[in-house]
Amino acid sequence: MFGKVLIANRGEIALRIHRACQEMGIRTVAIHSLADADAMHVRLADESVCVGPAQSSQSYMNIPAILSACTVTEADAVHPGYGFLSENADFAQIVKDHGIAFIGPEPSHIGIMGDKVIARDTMLKLGIPCVPGSDGVVKDYDSAIRISDGIGYPVLIKAVNGGGGRGMRVVWCADDLLDNVKAARAEAESAFGSGAVYIEKYLSDPRHIEVQIIADRFGHVIHLGERDCSIQRRHQKLIEEAPSPIITASQRKMIGDVCTRAIKEIGYIGVGTLEFLYENGEFYFIEMNTRLQVEHPVTEESLGIDIVQEQIRVAYGEQLSPILENKEFSGHSIECRINAENSETFIPSPGIISRYHAPSGRGVRVESAIYGGYSIPPYYDSMIGKLIVHAPDRLGCIRKLQLALKEFVIDGVDTSIPLLQRIISSDYFLNGNYSVKWLENFISCGEDTT
């Protein structure tokens, strides 16, 4: 097994990876920016290296500095977590070229799935259904008009290299197409360094369903069921649950088998998540994330496994644990993302945490790296933690979540906790009757709505 793993990330995911490594007897190296010198993952790691100033482009995405940290600490492997360089094929290849293991898939697969047009074409060839759309990058405005007229409005313009809702625009009629294509290209160029976009049909009221898979170097591919990630604001997930309240056992087996066959055929290795829109009983592939997901704990709690440890074992060259075979959901799990932001304006709220108390009890799990007196820096994503609960059934899970959110104390900064409390007390959420569009309406109307 690896002797030392460098964690190329920060915050709660860096701490999550650190814990997994420590349980496996692996030493850890934390990298950090100047702004994160007092971060919890830095305090707890066996070693730490400052890789640059606060700006992520000069620290957590500074490839030469990260490689230097690997060299000086003699790390055997790099775990990228999620975000930052986790889906950067060039970074994965450079790490491997320097004789260091990359705890993730092959760079070629990161590259294929990172380009949404290529990923879409690949999945179509493998028999996975996709949302109707353009055959490739939209090259000019005339092509955009022709494609959109053929698909039928509304359509969705999406950045080829996008994510998190950036470079994405909904167009309801032809008169609005040109301005939205220009806006999507500009945003994509600014966020991802490429203004390439494609077009697909905008589904009217879908759910967001994703399938977790894991594969080793020996041809074993296993799906770990689905997660429902439909509670979103501006394409950013807020609440995830497993299993989905609307997917049947037969549907789970069907889409799981489809994903497993496809992943096995392309020779994928490691963890990955295939994301789908689900409407009227049909699944439509939208993208694949070639990394650990923020919401992986809901699957872990529902199945009683450790996905991060399996990810590390696979990267080392071991086979998947036999315990993963024929795993079935036991009870229900829900995860809430705790963001340092105002629950009404959604303005980020960096600052010093004056008082902190995490909920606890049977079936309650908190993934966070904050503590009393910690100063939340203004340079990074506003998510400061995750609350995951597990119970024998969905109603019991919701009740436990309500109690845990009530017990959760984070003073000194605004958080998303009040909004989360409103959401999970809504009749629509209680009934599982929501789509990816529900939360936007709920926020704007201030009441249950579809």
Q: Give 42-72 pLDDT, tens digit per residue.
A: 999 999 999 999 999 999 999 999 999 999 9
User: Which pLDDT belongs to residue 235?
Assistant: 86
Q: What angle do CA 423, 295, 32 make, to 5 degrees?
A: 115
Give the CATH number for residue 62.
3.40.50.20
Does pLDDT of 185 surpass 90?
A: yes
Mean pLDDT, to the nearest integer, of 346-372?
97
In-domain check, residue 166: yes
d(CA 390, CA 332): 6
For the chain, the maximum distance between any two Cα atoms, rounded to a whole number of angstroms, is 61
Sequence-distant (6+) residues with CB within 8 A of 235 are: 164, 165, 168
Does pLDDT of 326 surpass 90?
A: no
Give percent of the chain with pLDDT exceeding 70: 98
Does pLDDT of 450 surpass 70?
A: no
Does pLDDT of 448 surpass 60?
A: no
Give the CATH number for residue 167.
3.30.1490.20
User: Which pLDDT belongs to residue 446?
Assistant: 62
Give the CATH number for residue 385.
3.30.470.20
User: Which pLDDT belongs to residue 193?
Assistant: 85
Same structural domain, 162 and 293? no
- On whether the CB atoms of residues 81 and 8 are closer than 8 A, the answer is yes
User: Which pLDDT belongs to residue 219?
Assistant: 95
- On whether the CB atoms of residues 188 and 262 are closer than 8 A, the answer is no
Which stretch of 31-35, 90-94, 199-203, 260-264 has the lowest confidence by average pLDDT? 199-203
Same structural domain, 137 and 268? no
User: Which pLDDT belongs to residue 281?
Assistant: 93
| The token pair that represents 363 in the structure block | 């079936």
d(CA 210, CA 226): 5
The domain boundary, picked from 168, 201, 234, lies at 201
The domain boundary, picked from 148, 181, 201, lies at 201
d(CA 104, CA 86): 8
Instruction: Report, as residue numbers or ranges, the catalytic residues.
Output: 291
The 10 Å Cβ neighbour count of residue 233 is 16
> Band of the pLDDT at 116, cuts 50, 70, 90?
confident
Same structural domain, 260 and 383? yes
Does pLDDT of 447 surpass 70?
A: no
**Size (the chain), residues:** 450
Helices (H), 267-352: 296-303, 307-316
Express each pLDDT in 296-305 by its tens digit.
999 999 999 9
Amino acid at 400: K
Same structural domain, 319 and 373? yes
Same structural domain, 26 and 169? no
Express each pLDDT in 235-253 by its tens digit.
899 999 999 999 999 999 9
Same structural domain, 271 and 168? no
Amino acid at 359: P
Express each pLDDT in 87-110 by its tens digit.
999 999 999 999 999 999 999 999
Does pLDDT of 163 surpass 80?
A: no
Express each pLDDT in 418-429 by its tens digit.
999 999 999 999
d(CA 289, CA 268): 12
Bond before 154 cis per omega within 30 degrees = yes
d(CA 359, CA 345): 26
In-domain check, residue 278: yes
User: Which pLDDT belongs to residue 331?
Assistant: 96
Beta bridge partners of 338: 385
- Please give the residue range of the domain that contains residue 73: 4-103
> Per the structure, how many domains does the chain have?
3
Same structural domain, 195 and 211? no
Does pLDDT of 25 surpass 60?
A: yes
The domain boundary, picked from 201, 219, 237, lies at 201
Express each pLDDT in 210-234 by its tens digit.
999 999 999 999 999 999 999 999 8
